[in-house]
Chain A
Amino acid sequence: MIREKHPKPEPIAANLTPMIDVVFLLIVFFVLVSQIVEVENADLDLPRPQDPASVGPGEQARVVINVLPGSGGDVSGYRMGTRRYVADTAGLHALATSLATMYRDNPALGVNLRADRRTDYRWVEPVFEAVSAAARLSGREDVQGRVNLVVVREP
């Protein structure tokens, strides 16, 4: 009788390399994403209304305009994405022109307006004008001049 030869047991080894690859990719992704959010949202003390009737920001594509605070209710400028604009007529016109270009690409684009709670209204209102002007400059009928006013809901 011929005895069958038993094959040698294969050594079992868990290959952790792909898992570590994926974990590091996730880490890199979250680090980058958190930096993008930081760039988009300036560090502002947003209004906190009593009993707010505000709603969640939604999933709509949007651009964020930050009204950067100065001293005593003044502003140091405006920021949309990473680009800064001077708080004067020329700066606001440049802001409207940039936004109009974005509206041409995506007429449903939302505009989130973030302003510090201590900022004077006279610096916030020109942004409304700029958004209206951008809607007009885009030359598209389907652009809605709409702004999302960002606040903080107290826990």
Chain B
Amino acid sequence: MTLPARRGRRRMARLGLNLTSMIDVVFLLLVYFMAVTEFKPGEEVYRLDLPQRGRTADPFELPLDPIRITVTSVATGDYVLHLAGPPGAGPRPATFRQLVRFLSGNLRRDRAAGGLFEADHPIIIEPTGRTSWAHAMGAFNAAVRARYTNITFASP
């Protein structure tokens, strides 16, 4: 009996995965997005409830004397604050930081002595027509920061 001739081992196909082209494309895209992307600082919001026109006022509601904050932009790029309304303790503020301190110092807090105004005491920001939006928002931010909740903007 003759043995069958030993068959030569078939070479197995080499497992190869050519990723070069894909990596090329991915890197090109990476470079493109890095070049195109511009990082912007995060935007945040203040919620402003607009007064509802035509709403009938409660006849038993006692009218409160609102705190009126006038903001005026001046030519130097600075601003001038003027506070009108019920008198508060302490010197009248000239900067937004002082405004926060003034409003915060006059806020009536639970179980704490002092404080002239409740948190929902009306505050009206009164920018002039030529006041820059940044200065108007500075005054608004001061009132929000001092934890007042009833803040509105007046018409110029």
**Residues of A participating in the B interface, judged by any CB pair closer than 8 Å:** 9, 11-14, 16, 20, 23, 27, 41, 46-58, 67, 73, 112, 115-122, 124-125, 128-129, 131-132, 135-136, 144-155
Contact = CB atoms under 8 A, between A and B. Distances in A.
13 contacts: A9-B12, A52-B141, A53-B144, A54-B46, A55-B44, A117-B137, A118-B132, A120-B131, A122-B129, A122-B130, A129-B155, A146-B47, A149-B45
Interface of B: 12-13, 15, 17, 22, 26, 29, 41-54, 96-97, 100, 127-134, 136-138, 140-141, 144-145, 153, 155-156
A120 to B, nearest CB: 5
A132 B133 CA distance: 20
B43 A47 contact: no
Nearest to A48: B134
B134 A125 contact: no
Nearest to B96: A50
A117 B12 contact: no
Nearest to B16: A13
Contacts of B127: 121
Given A125-B156, A132-B52, A136-B53, A148 B47 contact: yes
Contacts of A56: 44-45
A149 B136 CA distance: 11
